[in-house]
Structures are given as structure tokens and as C-alpha cells.
Structure 1
């Protein structure tokens, strides 16, 4: 199809997603970034593009992008934040659900770097990201051959020096290749390998963000993460991880079993997806636990140090530690005939992470059929072992026994629930009788 049709289509695509009148755009501005690349991909594939999802647009402006963005945000009564004062990058944030903005939208405006738009594009990371659409007439700039690389599904660096200028781009190459389904250009892969030590200088949060996105991209992301490890990129961050580490196959198996079990155990998998930190949930923690699990045994302190190095949250570290601690126990119970008390105790200890524990067990070689007998119980919210409803709580004990609070309350509640799981007590009266006998035996004050 002709260049004129492409330019018209891209300009229409942009204007349909722009959350304010096109007349408000600054003179001489260009549409740039990933959303332009993705729009061009949609054009090539004959797709209309996603017009209902969140809007994320990037603008390159010849002058004062911060002042312009602040003015538009005021007119829209929208959020506004300066992302980088030195490089003059600002963001307009519009909430979801308004009459004029039915979907959430962000518009980033950045100052053009260099004397011309082409000079700016030549300083970008990869050719597929070095396109720009002029927003008056729709002229498409492509000074680095990005369109040809997009057509061929090739992720190619603009210049090796651009990778050195911001070393997180070394890891970003693998992340974007995974997300786009592109192959990494061999010369680019070699340039990354040569510069791998530079990634140690990057802020931990930026490295973590790339690793997390690779893990969240599923099996393709794991394959590219493995290639990044082979290139030496994570030597300073996850030094135990090697290309041949069993963790890659284990993490891949977590994704495979999650897909299989999603339809059979939707409640369990939905609970696992709940956020632990930011938007990162228990499923991601399970994938990471599988990646870092060494069947030969690794001290918990070593795993914790690796996670701390990448600034994972305390909640995520506790979740991964719990999965690693409980995995051997579940593996043992799966090969024996556990008592009801043992089953309840494991469900109780795992809590909302039980789905992740089941996935981890399947990923590390336990029988899926045996695991599913546990999953069926957990999926049923009325199951008396997986979701035991205590007959008494702490207040009941204090009031009924006329005793003072202390550590004994938690110990007694645990004993009561174990007895209930084992079928030794079934009513409130039986629970109170059990509690009185327990207090007499334990000689609690």
C-alpha cells in the first residue's frame, strides 16, 4: 500500500486515541515511541489496533514540553508530573471513566534531543523504536531503517554507543524481543555481550522492572531471560543463575500448569493472582520461586540476598521463602497418606499461596494427579480442611475461660483447629471442653 495511505492511517489512529483536541498539540511535535511502533505493526498485520484499552502516547516536542504539558493538564483538570526535569520530560495522566476520556490515558512529552527530529531518533535504543510521525501532515520519519526491521521481526540496535549511554537497554533488548516476538540481530547480541558488565551500574529498580516483565511474558520471556543470562547480563544480580540452571525449565512448567489449571481451578488461580507488591502478584512470586529453586538445596539467606539485591518487596520475599519452605513438606505428603491434621496444617501454613505451592510442586516433578486431589479441596470454599471455620476465636477463649491475654491464646487456637480438622471436636461446646482441658494440662496462668 502507498506511503500516503500509511501516513493517513497512522495519523487517524493517533487522533482517535488523543485524549484532547488535536489543535492543542504543540507546533512541530511528533508522535514517537512504542505506541507508534505497535500501530505500524497493527497496520502490517491488517489489524485495527486496540481502541478500547489504555492510551499511552509519547510526543517529541521542539520546545518547552513541560510547560505545554502543564497547561494541557490544567485545562483537562488532569494529573501532571515531571518525569525528568533535566531532560524536560513530563506526563499528563487522565483517569478512567470520564465522558471525554472513556479509557485511562497517559501522554508523555519530551524535548527533542539534537538539532533535528532525525538527530533525536538516531540516539534511541533500537531501530523499531526510532520512528516519528509528524502530526500536521502525517510525514513518517525512519532514519535508521526501523520499518524494514519491524517487517522482518528483527530487533536491531541503532548504534552500539546508544546501548552504553543507558545500559538498561542491554536487558531491555531481550524484554522487547520477547514482547514483540522479534529475533535479536546477531550484531546487536554481540554488542550486548561485550557491554554486559555495564548493567551492574544500573539502579536495581530498573533492572528488576525488566526482569519482572520478562517473567510476566511467560514462556517466550523465560527463553529470552535465559539468553540474557547466557550473555552475562545478570552476573552481578543473580550470580547463581546460569543458562543451564534447572530453574528455567521449572519456571516454564509453572506457566504451563497455570494455563492448564486455570480452567479447572479458577478460584485458586484468581486468588494467587492478587497483588503482593505494586501490581506484582502471587503467580509472579511462584514463577520466581521456581526459577530460584535448586533441588540440591540453597540456603534461604542466599535466595533472600538475591531478591534484596533486586529490591523485591518484603511481601514478595516472604512469599518465595514460604513456597521454598513448604515445597519439601508437600512433596513428602504427596507420596504418603497424610492425616486430616497434616492436610489442614499445610493448607493453613500456605494460605492464599496454596495455588502457587501446587504449581511449584508440579513444576519440580511431583505427580499432577496427586496434586489435583489437594487442589480440588482448596477450590471448594466449603471444604472443612482447606477452609476450616474455627469453632472459637480468641475473644471466645478469653471470655469463656476468664483468662488474661498471652501467647497461650494462639497456641490453644492452633490446637483447637488441629483437633477440629482431625474430627475430635465438632461443636462449640466440645471446643470449650477441649480448651478447659488444654489449659489444665498446660498450667497456663
Structure 2
């Protein structure tokens, strides 16, 4: 309680009658955290209170109200304060309409007392997320996902009655705007240990209600190398991925505190989103040959296409869509490289081609592939351990390639293709320069003259022949 009784809000009127701190602000203060912003409920006209606060804080008043719901925001250099009117006869009646008990507490700033009519303080102490009323999810189905978001970000559990209610009302999530669902999901994915929370989402049926594209994965058996069906395997990839990210420094000590490591962790949420959906195309591509062997030809591309539809529905940003598409579409490439290495057919240029094609996402794709292999069974087989060791080599090659690429400029440019070889600018320039750079990085070409000779000898005749055939 000290976090509340000692709070000073100098920007409020001298006698803040009918002004209450509410919701997440009270929850965070009780937990000993500084709230990122402040939520106030005011009995009466909120305009005067907002103006007073703006004058004292040097902020400005922004009207955020819509659809008949009044909200004024005071944006000041130091904090954000949202002010809403008391919409019910009393603060207690107002709190009874909220989502979860830990969000349904208020602090009367005049009386200096906590208003807790739903048991929120006890649930805070017990680290429990519990719905305020049996109709909480009917009033706003976005709360179905928010329950798990709060459990993930606060490291709380969800009480059994609330978990059961989520299962009964899970179908209502289909009526929630995609961007609202994604806003909650991305916060779950952004936490470091959300695997158990996602498992509980799956157990309640909410996960497949949000992602109906995964329903066919339930019970979809795989080949003899996989212990789990496609759905359970995807959940295990998620948890394996979190473990790899948490223990990344010990796996790849040379990458610790580097820009590449920072970028990898920056992609953590999208890696987890991709983990859930990376095999969504397997049920549609499942085949069984004459010897009874199960296969999924083309499932990576199919999964990426399915995920593209999910991403549009949830209103992901263009960048987020690009990241998830690249991870899913290319998630098998590290395995193909490993098989080529085992067969003795992998040259250095094969790795470099993968790095160039996937760019900054090569490292996230490798880490995803490791989690994918590690989630095949409870105990890794010898072949799977071999792949994990190969990924260590692949990461080392990636780091070395990035270093050399940054240290030495390209051997030739588009200007050389025009001035020396007499070519006209075209989209083909990009692929020519990429192929030259792959050979530079693999050590096959080391000088400008060698690069130009190679283009003239190997690429241009091929282009002339192809145009003649056309």
C-alpha cells in the first residue's frame, strides 16, 4: 500500500474530489512498479480537470473520444494522463464493469483509500488473473486474448474459472478486429518465457480460434522421424525457440553483444509467430508414397502463403509480414545445406548464396531451423545432433561472410557493366552483380579484371543464347 499512500500528483486540483486513479496505474503501483502512464476517472465534467492538469504539466489536451465514449489525454513532456468520466453511479459500479480483478481497483485521491470491491489486491498477492464477472468476455471478447497477455507480461497464472470461461467463449474472438488481437499477441510473443502461456492458450482452444488455419494440424501425423503431430510439434518449436534465444550467448559466444545478435533478439516476437505457423501448410501437402512413407512436398511455400493470409487478417505491418514470410518460406534451407554437406556437395558458395538471399534474416532462419529440428522428438537423434553442430558452422560462416563483405567493396559495379562490357542498364544487373559477389566472397574471384572476364565468359554468352532461343 505504500506505493499508493505516498504517491504525489502535484498536477491535480488542490481538492481532487471525485478523482480516482484506476486500472493498470493502481495495479502497477501496488506491484512496486512505476506506471508508464496514468489513468484517471473523474466524477463530473472532465474538461476542467484536463485543462487544469495540462496547465500544471505544460502538456496539451487531446480528445481521444469516439462512438460516444469520452476520453481526454493530457500529453506532457513527462507523462501521459488519460481521463475518462465516471460512467456509472459510483466508482464501485464502474469497477464491476472492468475486465480482470487486478485491473478493477481504484484509489480515491481525496479520501486516500483503496477501492477494491472485486478482490483485486488478493489476486495481486496470489499472482492470479481472474475475470471480474461471468459476462466479462461477452462484453469485450478481446479480453480473451488479454487474459493471456497479462499472464505473460506479469508472470501470473489464470485462475481455473477464468480459463474455463475462455474455453466456452473462445469462438467470440473471431468477431474482434484483427489489429486488436495482434496488439495482444505481439506483447505475448515479446516476453522471454511465454511458452507455457501459449500452451494454455492451445489447451483452452483459443489458439486455434485465433488461428483456424492450425486446426487441420491437430492430429496430422508426420513421418517416422517425428514423434509429434504437426500441431504439437509447432508448439514445441515455439518453446525450443524461446530456450535458444534465452541461451543464445552460450550457443554462439562470438555473436554476443554484436549487431547481429541484437537484430536476432529484435525479431523474437516474429520468430515465435512464425514458429506457430511454419508448418501450417503440411496438412494440405501431406502425401503417402507406395511404401507408406509420409512426405510434405512444397509445404514451406504453402505455409508461407497461408501465413500471408493470417497476417493480412491480423493487420501486421509490411515489415512484420516480410519477416514472417522469409522465415517460413526459407525455414528448410539450412536443412538442405546440411544434407548437401553430408553428401559432400556443399561448396562455400552454397552457404554464401543462402546468406545473400536471406540477408539480415539468415541468422533468425538458422535459429528457427535449429528449434524446428530440436522439436521433432523428446530426445535428439544422432542425425539431429549433427544438424545442430552444422548450424554452428553455418553461423560462423555467416559472421565471417558479413565481416568480409563489410571490409572489402564489391569488385565491379553497374557502371563497369556499362562502360567495359557495353551492357544497357536492366534488372539483370542485380543478379549479375550478386553472382559476382558470391564468387568474390567464396574466394573464386579476387580482382576487378577477373570479375569482368568471368561475366564476359560465363554470363553474357548464356544471355545471348537464351535470347536466341526466345
Taking structure 2 as the reference length, the TM-score comes to 0.79
Identify the match of residue 260 of structure 1 among 238, 247, 251: 247
Give me the whole-angstrom Cα distance separating, in 1, the residues matched to 2:47 and 2:393. Answer: 58
1:316 aligns with 2:320: yes
Aligned to 1:231: 204
Aligned to 2:441: 421
1:128 aligns with 2:102: yes
Deviation at 1:389, TM superposition (A): 4.2
Deviations, residues 65-89 of structure 1 (Å, cap 9, x unaligned):
3553355346644354333332211
Identify the match of residue 283 of structure 1 among 263, 268, 275: 268
Aligned to 1:98: none
Aligned to 2:376: none
Kept after mapping to 2: 8 A contact 1:378/1:387: no
Aligned-residue CA RMSD in angstroms? 2.7
Inter-CA distance 9–340: structure 2 relative to 1 (3 Å threshold)? closer
1:410 aligns with 2:430: yes
Deviations, residues 259-281 of structure 1 (Å, cap 9, x unaligned):
222462232221234xxxxxxx5
Unaligned runs of at least 5 residues, structure 1: 1-5, 43-48, 96-100, 274-280
Inter-CA distance 348–70: structure 2 relative to 1 (3 Å threshold)? farther
Deviation at 1:354, TM superposition (A): 1.6
Deviation at 1:254, TM superposition (A): 1.3
Deviation at 1:407, TM superposition (A): 2.5
SS at match of 2:37: strand
SS at match of 2:410: coil
How many residues were matched structurally? 410
Aligned to 1:46: none
Give me the whole-angstrom Cα distance separating, in 1, the residues matched to 2:121 and 2:451. Answer: 72
Identify the match of residue 353 of structure 1 among 349, 357, 361: 361
Deviation at 1:92, TM superposition (A): 2.3
Aligned to 1:153: 127
Inter-CA distance 26–436: structure 2 relative to 1 (3 Å threshold)? farther
Q: 164-173 or 294-303, which moves further after superposition?
A: 294-303
Give me the whole-angstrom Cα distance separating, in 2, the residues matched to 1:127 and 1:394. Answer: 64
Inter-CA distance 66–235: structure 2 relative to 1 (3 Å threshold)? farther
SS at match of 2:164: helix
Aligned to 1:276: none
Aligned to 1:271: 263
SS at match of 1:363: helix
Give me the whole-angstrom Cα distance separating, in 1, the residues matched to 2:455 and 2:126. Answer: 72
Inter-CA distance 231–72: structure 2 relative to 1 (3 Å threshold)? same
Give me the whole-angstrom Cα distance separating, in 1, the residues matched to 2:43 and 2:398. Answer: 58
Give me the whole-angstrom Cα distance separating, in 2, the residues matched to 1:252 and 1:110. Answer: 40
Aligned to 2:29: 39
Aligned to 2:70: 88
Deviations, residues 157-182 of structure 1 (Å, cap 9, x unaligned):
11112321111112211221222222
Aligned to 1:343: 351
Deviation at 1:393, TM superposition (A): 2.1
Q: 116-125 or 242-251, which moves further after superposition?
A: 242-251
Aligned to 1:248: 235
Deviation at 1:208, TM superposition (A): 1.0
Aligned to 2:118: 144
1:331 aligns with 2:335: yes
Deviation at 1:399, TM superposition (A): 3.3
SS at match of 2:213: coil
Deviations, residues 304-334 of structure 1 (Å, cap 9, x unaligned):
2222221222322222222222222211212
Q: 115-124 or 398-407, which moves further after superposition?
A: 398-407
Taking structure 1 as the reference length, the TM-score comes to 0.84
Give me the whole-angstrom Cα distance separating, in 1, the residues matched to 2:354 and 2:327. Answer: 11
Deviation at 1:202, TM superposition (A): 0.9
Give me the whole-angstrom Cα distance separating, in 2, the residues matched to 1:392 and 1:79. Answer: 55
Inter-CA distance 114–440: structure 2 relative to 1 (3 Å threshold)? closer
Give me the whole-angstrom Cα distance separating, in 1, the residues matched to 2:364 and 2:28. Answer: 33
Kept after mapping to 1: 8 A contact 2:173/2:210: no
